A = this chain, B = another copy of it.
């Protein structure tokens, strides 16, 4: 491990941007940010009738009244926050969706206080849409399965699982190092700020969702609403762009999947995906984790190599971007927050330029404002 990492650091030195360019980048980040527009909205959502049955003990007034009468709530809506730069209509918008136990915070200010991919892409003239997964963060979740248990009408064994990844789990699943609090010597994650990442980790209620995840449906609908968008997913949501395309590809101009297992698709499904440019990204140390962990990154990588090959065999335009193969070493699972996050964003933007924007030309799209 150590020998390899030392070698890796030497290679990184040879491909990193010159110091003057790095300083230029930092300087650019401090320039005022100009936006043509920004805002937030929801995609989808439907009414659900609820008949609350508070437990015998009741709740302190006046809150009890909020639960006391039957009525409708809205569920399965997806919250989206967007920023459009002045020349944003020259580029296909990018929709970014976070992974398990996280929110759209994933793409914002990094744990060590640098700008995240959302602002970076905006500064590179890309309209960016951050979606909180359905059942997470500002999208809310359906509380009725919990309240049914509380009222006694359903046994506690049927209470939905609430996933809460511990710091210990995050450390190894996110590949900060082989064991908790033992970082890889060449690790790119800003490990001195890992406590700030832990604050981003919030309970995951996806177990409350139906089999066809509404986030997939809303991502496809968002592509249609935007008259074309690139969908990007990470980890838990890594294959959501493809799942959205299998529901409705009509608004989807590109698929970017970052670090997840790739499922086996049917020939018909592969043929459908093959019509959309696809980028799959993986970081480093995929095979350097102890066996028996929560995630098996080497197996995930292999499954996605097979997926990329299948898509290309069907005439598609799919690319596996394995960062170590490009001479970029030490990247964690949270690569959009790694120290070289700007460099990785530039790789994605170059891919967008070549594989998506060149095929969609200059655009003039309506504002998503209602």
Contact = CB atoms under 8 A, between A and B. Distances in A.
Interface string A135-169: 00111110110110110100111010111111111
Interface in A28-65: 30, 32-42, 45, 47, 50, 52, 54-57, 59, 62-63, 65
A129 to B, nearest CB: 13
A330 to B, nearest CB: 22
Contact of A139 (B79, B81, B161, B202): B202
B201 A293 contact: no
A186 interface: no
A77 B119 contact: no
A337 interface: no
A21 interface: no
A302 interface: no
A286 interface: no
Contact of A40 (B30, B105, B143): B105
B147 A295 contact: no
A199 interface: yes
Nearest to A112: B370
Interface-central residue, A45, A69, A112, A162, by most chain B CB under 10 Å: A162
Given A38-B119, A62-B295, A50 B149 contact: no
Nearest to A261: B62
Interface in A100-151: 100-101, 103-105, 108-109, 112-113, 115, 119, 132, 137-141, 143-144, 146-147, 149-150
A37 B33 contact: yes
A49 to B, nearest CB: 9
Contacts of A200: 42
Contacts of A203: 140-141, 143
Interface string A221-234: 00000000000000
Nearest to A236: B63
A2 interface: no
B109 A45 contact: no
A362 to B, nearest CB: 19
A147 B162 contact: yes
A95 B146 CA distance: 32
Contacts of A152: 156-157
Given A140-B202, A141-B202, 7 more contacts: A33-B37, A39-B113, A66-B294, A69-B168, A113-B369, A113-B370, A150-B156
17 contacts: A32-B34, A33-B37, A39-B108, A39-B113, A41-B196, A52-B164, A54-B161, A57-B157, A66-B165, A66-B294, A104-B138, A132-B138, A137-B138, A149-B149, A150-B156, A152-B156, A156-B159
Interface of A: 30, 32-42, 45, 47, 50, 52, 54-57, 59, 62-63, 65-67, 69-74, 77, 79, 81, 86, 100-101, 103-105, 108-109, 112-113, 115, 119, 132, 137-141, 143-144, 146-147, 149-150, 152, 155-157, 159, 161-169, 173, 193, 195-196, 198-203, 293-296, 369-370
In the A-B complex, the 3 residue pairs with the smallest Cβ-Cβ separation, listed nearest first, are A140-B202, A71-B166, A65-B294
